[in-house]
Chains A and B, each alone.
Chain A
Amino acid sequence: MDAAASRLDRPNSYIGRSVPRPNAKRLLEGKGRYVTDLVLPRMLHAAFVRSPQAHGRILTIDTAEAAALKGVRAVITGKDLESLCKPWTGTLDHFQGMKSPPQLPLPIDRVVWSGQPVALVVAESRAIAEDAAELVVVEVEELPAIAELSSALAPGADTVSPDLDDNLCFTSTIDSGGVDEAFAEAAQVVEQNFVFGRHTAVTLEPRAIVADYDPSEHRLTAHHATQTPYQFQDIYSRHFGIPESQVRVVAPDIGGSFGMKLHVYHEEMAVVGASILLGRPVKYVADRMESFVSDIHARDHRVKARLAVGAHGRITAMDVDDVTAIGPFSTYPRTSAVEGNQVVRLMGAAYDFSAYRGRLSVVFQNKVQTSQYRAVGHPIACAVTECMVDAAARKSGMDPFEFRSRNLIPDDAYPRRSPTGYQFEKLSHQACLARLREMMNYDELRREQAELRARGILRGIGIAVFVEITNPSPAFYGVGGARISAQDGAIVKLTPAGEVQCLISVTEQGQGTETIVGQIVADGLGVRREQVRVMTGDTDVTPHGGATWACRGAGIGGETALQAARILKGNILSVAGLILQARPDELEMGDGWIVDATTRQQRLSLTELARIAFFRSDTLPPGTQAQLSATYHFAPQGYPFAFTNGAQACHVEVDAETGFVKLLKHWVVEDCGRVINPLLVDEQMRGGVVQGLGAAFFEECLYSEGGQLTNGSLADYLVPMACEMPEIETAHIETPTRDTELGAKGCGEAGTAAASAAAMNAVNDALSGHGVLLTQIPMTPARILKALGRI
């Protein structure tokens, strides 16, 4: 890392500075442009007919009455789209033995979850489309729903698809060796069973698409509320047989995504198909009830885990068995096995031990598909590990901080390979833990806890240490054959007015991607931040790239922007040298000027340089071709992932009479390497923590035994609200990665990764002495009272 880049005392030094987001102002005036708001000429509206059955054989679909309704333009079924769209299969080659049934936009002969779209009505308005959808009659022979894990895995069980021999999508085992020996020799063994409920993203803007196929040019434009426009350009091209260059995907303002909006959904594919069939723009916006039964769900894991502790309270081994249910097929193109894979690989990641065994079983069932949602697998691995670590500390009679300090990988013991195969460049567990303890005033909290306990008030303090996967290389998806880019691309250009534009493939969902890219470009070039305009989210505008997921916007996108800015700076200085008859290395840029590198005296404004280069190139020496646009592509090299780490603490008060938990305070210390904008990083922490606390206390997709979602509305499914959430204090340790010049790693998932673990430990701490241990989330009042034997 160039030390100069982090200094805040020189002009245009923006890296490390808290600055607000320029693009937030229009959102504050109600002028956001979401796909939901979009209206195109000749646009039609789509509504879906959905299966009420969780599993069944389609006998007939009668569309006559619906098609006859005034204003209806088409009623489309699976057969209409079958020839238009190549089926997709959600497997990755590096998950050996993985299988999944092929999928089509709309089913031909079988429904496999309650809520599955079966037919599509396209009409002049959404209201007419919905009226007509009610007139479509789908006759289904109901089959037994395979809803629960136990029924899916029972010997001789029915399968979710006739193409499958069993309901196992994928299994894998990691075994470092030495596990049985370590358990045999252990001074103590902790053994616990965990249940992690299903929850879902509940983005405030539901999924939305306007597909606009123009037959005259054989060209598709999809205005699609997604994180990953390039991935969808590729998918629409390949599955609908349209040349890639003829597919444009535009992702404008997006009302939240959190991983949910980067998967392929049947509705979006059907709407693209409908636009191709009709040659007109077709709009679909999910309503909230549809979101609950069609957006991906996440988690749904049952984990059996054992932890071996040797002499002196040292962890010696972990043995973990994770079974996860994913719905009737694996999601495309990222699959539904990544979460489980990360669960078994992140177990115990912060701790210094070498004997590990993890087994993973990924199971089909008749519920909506599960897949990657914020912090994929991390919350489960973290909660299992940290809950067992707390139990081991209790058994050893040790304070949770003391037990962790004794077992964490020391900060000076890097690089390091985890027993699950992850390579850690450099982490800072000890520094984070020490900072956490100081920030939360731990000793005082313990004193207060004891005092209140004497008065019958049950307060609990929970600690959780975490490791987060960021900056993924092609080791994530590319090696598995998925056409998902690990690289990003940026064009940085000087305009004739001497301003700067940056077109970059990472995308914005409100986390501040455009802001940090603007900071990095302004910093790298030496111009004011206000002079840089950043553009994202349009495959016709920016170079191809992976976009924003798995915490890669800052680490990969940021480095891409930095290097593009460096190239442009070099080009500008060489033109400036010709104009000023100076050597380029005697010149610098600052505040939009070419300045003398030593004296910082202003020599030539960028405006003047641009004027000469663009309009009076005749005055430059013969042979000069000023290159005032620079392109750079960057793919991570070196470590396959840039791991980050941190520690969280949660302070709660449990009412043993009602089972209610009051969240008093939450603390986060995290290390995402170089912090580009502390204001935005803190917001990522807080937002992430609240999503983790939602999972810990409120959020769960509840199903009947027959596979019916029973709480699929925002009145029934509980999300965390302002009045229930605590104040969240944050702090940062900075350990930049040396794999890039920028040194940034990701920070978007850290909050979610450990919040539910800290909350679980806090509740169990509050209830210690009551002989209960909660190992299921969400920890609802009913579950707490049940654990206490009160109900």
Chain B
Amino acid sequence: MSDTLPISIDVNGETVESLVAPRITLADFLRQELELTGTHLGCEMGVCGACLVLLDGKPVHACLMFAVQADGCAVETVEGLTRRGVIADLQKAFHERNALQCGFCTPGMLISAHGMLSERRTLSREEIRDALSGNYCRCTGYEAIVDAIESTARSRTTKAAEEA
């Protein structure tokens, strides 16, 4: 177990080269080695969605992947999305609607929301709820989260129409 393997991952737009133990998960690598603590661990079995990150643009559970499996991939976390400003409107909608309480599920919720909003322009409330079926939130009761994603989808559609 003392053996390590070299990996090279693009994390939030920067190339990270590291020697990692084969058993370290991507989530632990991000949190412990890179101090990107916005990625949270809630169940470590791919159920709760707190650890979601983007792997080559798609939401994946960072707790279910080993860091070595991400070798050569691009990983983006909530910190990266924040810095790029691509979810600023979504974060604003979450804030104004108070679509979070303790905030522990929030990074995963934002990754899921970003994922669904990247794929679809129009989303019904039922579709949003369905797309959040892998994100557990104990605090909010979900409705405000659905509201925030719905309003972001709507404003993005309006903005796209205005720009067209």
Is A390's CB within 8 Å of the partner chain B? Answer: no
In the complex where A37-B31, A725-B142 touch, is A32 in contact with B103 (Cβ < 8 A)?
Answer: yes
Per the bound structure, the CA–CA distance linking A34 and B39 in Å amounts to 12
List A17-31 residues whose CB lies under 8 Å from chain B.
20-21, 24-25, 27-31
Known: A28-B100, A683-B140, A722-B128. 8 other contacts (CB 8 A): A20-B95, A27-B103, A30-B107, A37-B31, A204-B105, A512-B98, A721-B142, A722-B142
Tell me if B41 and A36 are in contact (CB < 8 A): yes
Tell me if B45 and A510 are in contact (CB < 8 A): no
The interface stretch among A517-525, A687-695, A757-765 is A687-695
Is B133's CB within 8 Å of the partner chain A? Answer: yes
The interface stretch among B54-62, B74-82, B153-161 is B74-82
Which A residue sits closest to B45, measured CB to CB? A715
Residues of B within 8 A of A725 (CB): 129, 141-143
Which A residue sits closest to B139, measured CB to CB? A687
Q: Which of A30, A36, A205, A715 has the most CB of B within 10 A?
A: A30
Tell me if A723 and B130 are in contact (CB < 8 A): yes
Per the bound structure, the CA–CA distance linking A678 and B64 in Å amounts to 39
Chain A contributes a number of interface residues (CB within 8 A of B) equal to 54
A675 to chain B, nearest CB (A): 14
Which A residue sits closest to B125, measured CB to CB? A727
Tell me if A204 and B95 are in contact (CB < 8 A): no
Residues of A within 8 A of B103 (CB): 24, 27-28, 32, 253, 255, 510
Tell me if A28 and B110 are in contact (CB < 8 A): yes
Tell me if B98 and A204 are in contact (CB < 8 A): no
The 0/1 profile, CB within 8 Å of B marked 1, for residues 577-617 of chain A is 00000000000000000000000000000000000000000
Chain A residues with CB under 8 Å of chain B are 20-21, 24-25, 27-32, 34, 36-37, 39, 127, 131, 201-206, 253-258, 287-288, 509-512, 679-680, 683, 686-691, 713-715, 719, 721-723, 725, 727-728, 751
Is B162's CB within 8 Å of the partner chain A? Answer: no
Per the bound structure, the CA–CA distance linking A722 and B123 in Å amounts to 15
Is B7's CB within 8 Å of the partner chain A? Answer: no
Residues of B within 8 A of A723 (CB): 129-130, 132-133
The 0/1 profile, CB within 8 Å of A marked 1, for residues 36-60 of chain B is 1111111111011010000000000
Is B137's CB within 8 Å of the partner chain A? Answer: yes
Tell me if A721 and B101 are in contact (CB < 8 A): no
List B85-109 residues whose CB lies under 8 Å from chain A.
91, 94-96, 98, 100-107
Tell me if B82 and A30 are in contact (CB < 8 A): yes
Tell me if A204 and B42 are in contact (CB < 8 A): yes
In the complex where A719-B138, A722-B133, A727-B143 touch, is A204 in contact with B44 (Cβ < 8 A)?
Answer: no
Q: Which 8 A-B pairs have the closest CB atoms?
A: A30-B38, A27-B103, A255-B104, A510-B101, A686-B141, A510-B102, A30-B78, A690-B141
Is B121's CB within 8 Å of the partner chain A? Answer: no
Residues of A within 8 A of B134 (CB): 721
Per the bound structure, the CA–CA distance linking A714 and B45 in Å amounts to 8
Per the bound structure, the CA–CA distance linking A288 and B63 in Å amounts to 13
Is B66's CB within 8 Å of the partner chain A? Answer: no
Which B residue sits closest to A374, measured CB to CB? B138
Residues of A within 8 A of B26 (CB): none
Tell me if B44 and A687 are in contact (CB < 8 A): no
Tell me if B50 and A28 are in contact (CB < 8 A): no
Tell me if B102 and A509 are in contact (CB < 8 A): yes
Per the bound structure, the CA–CA distance linking A691 and B31 in Å amounts to 30
Residues of B within 8 A of A680 (CB): 98
Is B146's CB within 8 Å of the partner chain A? Answer: yes
Q: Which of B43, B102, B145 has the most CB of A within 10 A?
A: B102
Is B152's CB within 8 Å of the partner chain A? Answer: no
> Which one, B43, B91, B102, B125, contacts A256 given CB within 8 A?
B102
Interface size class of B (residues with CB under 8 A): 35 or more
In the complex where A258-B138, A683-B140, A719-B138 touch, is A205 in contact with B44 (Cβ < 8 A)?
Answer: no
Tell me if A690 and B142 are in contact (CB < 8 A): yes
B111 to chain A, nearest CB (A): 10
Which B residue sits closest to A21, measured CB to CB? B98
Tell me if B141 and A728 are in contact (CB < 8 A): yes
B151 to chain A, nearest CB (A): 14
A646 to chain B, nearest CB (A): 16
In the complex where A204-B136, A256-B138 touch, is A30 in contact with B37 (Cβ < 8 A)?
Answer: yes
> Which one, A20, A21, A204, A679, contacts B104 given CB within 8 A?
A204
Residues of A within 8 A of B96 (CB): 20
Residues of B within 8 A of A715 (CB): 43, 45, 47
Residues of A within 8 A of B21 (CB): 127
Please, could you name 19 A-B residue pairs with CB atoms under 8 Å apart, sorted by A? Answer: A27-B100, A30-B39, A30-B107, A203-B138, A204-B40, A205-B42, A206-B42, A253-B102, A255-B104, A256-B139, A287-B44, A288-B48, A510-B103, A690-B141, A721-B136, A722-B135, A722-B145, A727-B125, A728-B141
Which A residue sits closest to B144, measured CB to CB? A683
Residues of B within 8 A of A131 (CB): 1
Residues of B within 8 A of A203 (CB): 102, 104, 138
Which B residue sits closest to A30, measured CB to CB? B38
Tell me if A28 and B139 are in contact (CB < 8 A): no
Residues of A within 8 A of B23 (CB): 127
Which B residue sits closest to A23, measured CB to CB? B103
Tell me if A721 and B38 are in contact (CB < 8 A): no
Residues of A within 8 A of B143 (CB): 686, 725, 727-728
Which A residue sits closest to B128, measured CB to CB? A722
In the complex where A29-B38, A29-B78, A723-B132 touch, is A683 in contact with B102 (Cβ < 8 A)?
Answer: no
Per the bound structure, the CA–CA distance linking A257 and B104 in Å amounts to 11
Tell me if A713 and B43 are in contact (CB < 8 A): yes
Which B residue sits closest to A716, measured CB to CB? B47
Tell me if B79 and A30 are in contact (CB < 8 A): yes
Tell me if B138 and A691 are in contact (CB < 8 A): yes
Per the bound structure, the CA–CA distance linking A680 and B1 in Å amounts to 49
Tell me if A719 and B102 are in contact (CB < 8 A): no
Tell me if A24 and B98 are in contact (CB < 8 A): yes
In the complex where A36-B40, A204-B48 touch, is A28 in contact with B141 (Cβ < 8 A)?
Answer: no
In the complex where A29-B91, A30-B77 touch, is A721 in contact with B141 (Cβ < 8 A)?
Answer: no
Residues of B within 8 A of A683 (CB): 98, 101, 139-141, 144
A281 to chain B, nearest CB (A): 16
B99 to chain A, nearest CB (A): 9
Tell me if B102 and A254 are in contact (CB < 8 A): yes
Residues of A within 8 A of B24 (CB): 127
Residues of B within 8 A of A34 (CB): 37, 40, 104
Per the bound structure, the CA–CA distance linking A214 and B50 in Å amounts to 34
